C-alpha cells in the first residue's frame, strides 16, 4: 500500500485505536481494524521450520503446533557455507508460510556464539560475524522472495540464556561494531528483512527495547532499515520509552495495559502523537505488503519439503576426522550401529523453534534395507549413568562387527532455550560407551548430534568423527548416505571446537555476576582468540574433510597497491585431485601485517563453495572492499584502514592457509591528532612534523647528553642509549618540566609547545 494511503488510514483512527496497533491482538497476531479494512495478520516462530500455533499456545514450544517440516538448525545451516542452498530453503519456508497464512516467520537468529555454553547456540550460526550475516542474508532473501517477512533476531548482544531478561551485556564500542553488530549489519543493509526483533537484555545498561542508539540511530538512520521493530515475547519494560526509542510492536498482546499508557502519555504531552503514528505506519506497511501479495494457491507439500530437508542436511554434516580413510564404509561390511540416537536422533533444539515434525527418519530407519547393520541401544539418552546391561550388549555387538558407528551427543536436557549449559561434556554414559567400544573394536566412528561444541576425551581412540549438528528431521538419511559414501561430505565448522571449556575466551566472564556480563575478551571471539594466543584447538574454525582432495593454486590479486576506496579482485584456481565429485569451501582471510592497533592475526573476509568433478579445475573469484582491511576506530567512530601491507590468504580452514599474497593499502583518511601535556614523546615522534619541533628541544636535555665518553666503555654507552631511548619514548611531554635540564621550560611555554604541535 502506498505511503499516502497508509497515512490516510491512520488519520481515520482514534488515538486509542492507534495505540492498540502498537501491541499484538493476541499471542501470534497483529491488531486488526475491520471498520477500516485492516486485517490482523499472523507471525510464527521459525527459523528452521514453521511452528504455527493457535492463540492459546505458548512461546517456548511446550504446547502443540501444526505438523510441519524441520530443516537443520542454524548451527548446521552455517556449516554448509552455501548461500544458494540456504536461499532455496528460505523459499520453501516462505511457500509454507503463504500456504498457512503466516505474514512473518520469526528468524533468522544471528547472535554470535560467544561461549560454547549458550543454551541457544543450536539456533545461532557462527562465532564469526561474516558467516552469521551471510547465512542470515541468504535465508532472508529466500523467504522474502515469496512475499513473506522475516524477523532477524535477537538485536543485540544476546549471547546467553542466563538472566537474559535482565542482564546487561557490557561490550566496548569496537567489539560491538566488529563482532556483535556486524552479524546483523550485512544482512540488514543488503537483504532488508521486513522486521527486526529486539532482545530482552540490556546493552551497556540500557534495555534493548528502549535503546534508541541501536534501534534508531544505527538500525534505521545508519543502516537504512525501513520495516518495523518488534519485541521478543515479553521484552517490553517501559512501553512509552520503548516506543520513543524505536520499538514499534510489542508482542504478545499487553491486554490493553500498555496501550493505555501510550494514550495517557500522548494526552499529558510526554509523548508525541507523531511517534505513535510513525510506529503504526511501519507496522501497517508490512501488514499490507503481505496481505496484498497473498498466494491463495500456495500448498504446503510436506513430503516434498522433507526431501529438500534431506538435501540441506547432507551439506550440514562435517567430517571432522577420517583416520586411515575409514569412511566411507562398504555396505558389504557388517557394521554395528550403537546408541539411542541411531534409533531416535536428536535433530532439533528445545524452546520457541521446536517443530512438530510430520516425519522423522533415523539412521537406523535409513539403513532398513542394509541387512549387514546390527543395532545396540548402548545408553539411555536422558540419563547420565551407565546402564550396565545396555553397555554389555553394545560391546558384544561391536565385537561381532567389522566396524562400529556410535551415535552420541547432547540430549534435550543439556541444551535448550531458557538455560545455559554448565559444562562442555557429553553425558558420562556416552563417553564411557565410546571408550569401551574402542577397546574391542579398532574401527570406530562417532556421529555427534549436538548444537554446539563438546569435549572429546576419546578422540585419539576413534578413527572417524561426523559432526551432524542438529540436522533436522531427515538427518538420519543424510548421515547414513555420508557414512556409506552415497554423499560426499562438504560442510565445515562455523565455530572452533576448543580442547576444553577453560580454553574459551569468555570462560572467566560467562555468564557474568548477577545481572552484569562483562565481554572482556572484546573482539577476540572464537578463532580470533585462539590464533592470537597460538593455542591448540580440537578442531579449528573452517575445518572439514572430504572423500576427495582439493588443490589450490594461482592466487592472484588484480593489484598489489590500492587505496582504501578501491576494490581488490582476488582469484585462485581450485582443482579436484581425487577420484570422486565433491564440494570445497574456499576461505579468504586478511591479515594486517603492521597494525598499530591490536588486531586479530587474521579475519575471514570472504568464502565460496565450489563443486568439482574429478580432475576438474575452476577459478574462484572474490571482491574485497574497504571493510576487508578496516578496523573500527573508536576515535572517529568509523571504519578505518591504516596504510600498510596486508596479506590476502586462501585457506581450507583458519589453521590451514594454503596461499598468500600481499597488497599495500593506502588510507585516504587522515586521523586527527590531538596532543596534550600527557602525550608521550614516542607518540609525538611518530608524527613527522611534530618530531621536528621537539627534537631540538630535548636534544640538550638530560636525556640528550649522557656521560662523558672517556668515563664509559662502548658497551655501557650502548646500554645507556637504549635505556634512555626507552625511557624517553614513554615519558609524557610534561616530563620536560622536571627532566629538561638546560632545555627546561615553564608551564606556559609547555602549553605553547603543545598548541604548536597541534597546528602541524
Pairing of β 656-666 and β 561-563: parallel
C-beta separation of 15 from 23 below 8 A: no
Reduced to 3 states (helix: H, G, I; strand: E, B; else coil), residue 443 is coil
Going by C-alpha positions, the residue among 155, 72, 121, 157 that lies closest to residue 421 is 121
| Residues whose CB is less than 8 angstroms from the CB of residue 421 and which lie 6 or more positions away in sequence, other chains included | 116, 117, 118, 119, 414, 415, 452
- Type and span of the H or E element at 607: strand 603-612
Burial bucket for residue 707 (CB in 10 Å: 0-12, 13-18, 19+): exposed
Distance (Å, whole) CA 6 – CA 33: 13
Reduced to 3 states (helix: H, G, I; strand: E, B; else coil), residue 359 is coil
Distance (Å, whole) CA 402 – CA 740: 83
C-beta separation of 75 from 124 below 8 A: yes
- Please give the biggest Cα pair distance in the chain: 102
- Type and span of the H or E element at 285: helix 273-291
Return the axis-axis angle of helices 475-483 and 302-314, rounded to nearest 10°: 40
Pairing of β 550-557 and β 617-624: unpaired
- For the chain, how are helix, strand and coil distributed in percent, rounded to 5? 35, 20, 45
DSSP alpha helix (H) spans, 158-250: 173-175, 182-191, 212, 239-245
Does the annotation count 412 as an active-site position?
no
Annotated catalytic residue within 232, 242, 248, 481: 232
Residue with the three cell numbers 508482542: 251
- Type and span of the H or E element at 610: strand 603-612
DSSP alpha helix (H) spans, 619-758: 681-685, 688-699, 714-729, 736-739, 747-757
Reduced to 3 states (helix: H, G, I; strand: E, B; else coil), residue 19 is helix
Residue 623 has a CB neighbour count (10 Å cut-off) of 12
Going by C-alpha positions, the residue among 524, 495, 497 that lies closest to residue 508 is 524
Residue positions annotated with a catalytic role: 232
Amino acid at each position: 500500500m502506498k505511503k499516502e494511503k497508509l497515512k490516510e488510514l491512520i488519520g481515520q483512527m482514534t488515538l486509542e485505536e492507534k495505540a492498540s496497533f502498537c501491541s499484538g491482538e493476541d499471542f501470534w497476531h497483529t491488531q486488526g481494524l475491520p471498520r477500516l479494512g485492516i486485517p490482523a495478520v499472523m507471525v510464527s516462530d521459525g527459523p528452521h521450520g514453521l511452528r504455527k500455533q493457535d492463540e492459546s499456545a505458548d512461546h517456548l514450544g511446550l504446547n502443540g503446533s501444526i505438523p510441519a517440516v524441520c530443516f537443520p538448525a542454524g548451527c548446521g545451516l552455517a556449516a554448509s557455507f552455501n548461500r544458494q542452498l540456504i536461499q532455496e530453503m528460505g523459499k520453501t519456508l516462505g511457500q509454507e508460510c503463504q500456504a498457512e497464512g503466516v505474514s512473518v516467520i520469526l528468524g533468522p537468529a544471528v547472535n554470535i556464539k560467544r561461549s560454547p555454553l549458550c543454551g541457544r547456540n543450536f539456533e545461532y550460526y557462527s562465532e564469526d560475524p561474516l558467516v552469521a550475516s551471510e547465512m542470515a542474508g541468504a535465508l532472508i532473501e529466500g523467504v522474502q522472495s515469496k512475499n513473506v517477512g522475516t524477523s532477524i533476531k535477537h538485536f543485540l548482544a544476546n549471547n546467553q540464556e542466563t538472566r537474559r531478561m535482565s542482564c546487561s551485556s557490557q561490550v566496548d564500542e569496537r567489539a560491538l561494531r566488529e563482532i556483535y553488530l556486524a552479524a546483523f549489519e550485512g544482512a540488514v543493509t543488503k537483504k532488508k528483512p521486513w522486521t527486526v526483533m529486539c532482545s530482552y537484555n540490556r546493552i551497556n545498561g540500557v534495555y534493548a527495547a528502549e535503546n534508541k542508539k541501536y534501534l534508531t540511530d544505527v538500525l534505521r538512520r545508519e543502516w537504512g532499515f525501513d520495516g518495523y521493530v518488534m519485541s521478543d515475547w515479553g521484552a517490553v519494560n517501559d512501553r512509552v520509552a520503548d516506543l520513543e526509542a524505536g520499538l514499534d510492536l510489542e508482542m504478545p498482546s499487553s491486554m490493553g495495559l500498555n496501550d493505555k499508557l501510550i494514550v495517557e502519555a500522548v494526552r499529558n504531552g510526554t509523548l508525541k502523537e507523531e511517534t505513535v503514528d510513525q510506529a503504526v505506519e511501519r507496522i501497517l506497511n508490512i501488514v499490507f505488503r503481505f496481505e496484498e501479495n497473498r498466494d491463495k494457491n500456495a500448498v504446503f507439500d510436506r513430503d516434498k519439503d522433507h526431501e529438500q530437508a534431506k538435501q540441506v542436511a547432507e551439506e550440514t554434516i562435517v567430517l571432522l576426522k577420517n583416520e586411515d580413510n575409514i569412511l566411507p564404509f562398504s555396505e558389504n561390511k557388517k557394521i554395528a550401529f550403537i546408541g539411542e540416537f541411531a534409533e531416535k536422533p536428536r535433530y532439533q533444539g528445545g524452546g520457541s523453534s521446536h517443530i512438530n515434525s510430520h516425519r522423522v527418519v533415523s539412521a537406523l530407519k535409513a539403513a532398513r534395507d542394509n541387512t549387514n547393520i546390527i543395532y545396540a541401544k548402548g545408553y539411555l539418552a536422558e540419563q547420565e549413568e551407565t546402564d550396565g546391561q545396555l553397555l554389555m550388549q553394545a560391546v558384544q555387538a561391536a565385537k561381532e562387527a567389522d566396524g562400529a558407528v556410535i551415535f552420541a551427543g547432547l540430549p534435550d536436557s543439556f541444551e535448550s532455550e531458557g538455560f545455559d549449559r554448565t559444562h562442555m561434556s557429553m553425558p558420562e554414559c556416552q563417553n564411557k560407551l565410546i571408550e569401551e567400544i574402542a577397546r574391542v573394536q579398532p574401527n570406530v566412528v562417532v556421529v555427534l548430534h549436538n548444537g554446539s561444541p563438546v569435549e572429546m576425551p576419546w578422540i585419539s581412540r576413534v578413527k572417524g568423527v561426523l559432526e551432524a549438528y542438529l540436522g533436522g528431521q531427515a538427518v538420519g538419511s543424510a548421515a547414513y548416505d555420508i557414512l556409506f559414501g552415497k554423499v560426499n561430505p562438504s560442510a565445515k565448522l562455523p565455530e572452533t571446537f576448543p580442547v576444553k571449556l577453560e580454553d574459551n575466551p569468555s570462560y572467566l566472564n560467562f555468564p557474568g555476576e548477577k545481572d552484569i556480563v562483562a565481554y572482556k575478551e572484546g573482539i577476540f571471539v572464537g578463532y580470533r582468540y585462539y590464533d592470537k594466543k597460538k593455542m591448540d584447538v580440537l578442531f579449528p574454525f573452517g575445518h572439514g574433510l572430504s572423500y576427495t582432495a582439493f588443490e589450490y593454486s594461482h592466487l592472484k590479486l588484480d593489484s598489489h597497491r590500492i587505496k582504501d576506496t578501491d576494490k581488490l579482485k582476488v582469484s585462485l584456481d581450485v582443482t579436484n585431485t581425487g577420484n570422486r565429485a565433491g564440494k570445497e569451501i574456499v576461505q579468504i582471510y586478511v591479515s594486517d601485517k603492521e597494525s598499530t592497533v591490536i588486531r586479530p592475526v587474521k579475519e575471514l573476509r570472504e568464502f565460496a563453495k565450489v563443486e568439482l568433478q574429478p580432475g576438474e579445475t575452476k577459478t574462484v573469484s572474490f571482491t574485497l572492499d574497504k571493510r576487508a582491511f578496516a578496523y573500527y576506530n573508536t576515535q572517529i567512530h568509523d571504519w578505518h584502514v591504516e596504510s600498510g601491507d596486508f596479506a590476502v590468504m586462501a585457506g581450507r580452514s583458519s589453521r590451514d592457509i594454503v596461499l598468500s599474497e600481499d597488497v599495500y593499502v593506502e588510507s585516504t583518511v587522515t586521523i586527527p591528532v590531538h596532543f596534550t601535556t600527557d602525550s608521550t614523546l614516542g607518540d609525538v615522534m611518530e608524527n613527522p612534523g611534530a618530531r621536528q619541533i621537539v627534537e631540538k628541544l630535548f636534544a640538550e636535555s638530560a636525556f640528550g647528553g649522557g656521560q662523558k665518553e672517556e668515563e664509559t666503555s662502548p658497551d655501557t654507552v650502548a646500554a645507556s642509549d637504549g635505556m634512555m631511548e626507552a625511557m624517553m619514548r614513554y615519558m609524557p611531554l610534561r616530563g620536560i618540566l622536571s627532566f629538561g635540564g638546560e632545555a627546561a621550560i615553564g608551564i606556559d611555554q609547555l602549553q605553547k609547545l603543545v598548541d604548536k604541535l597541534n597546528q602541524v
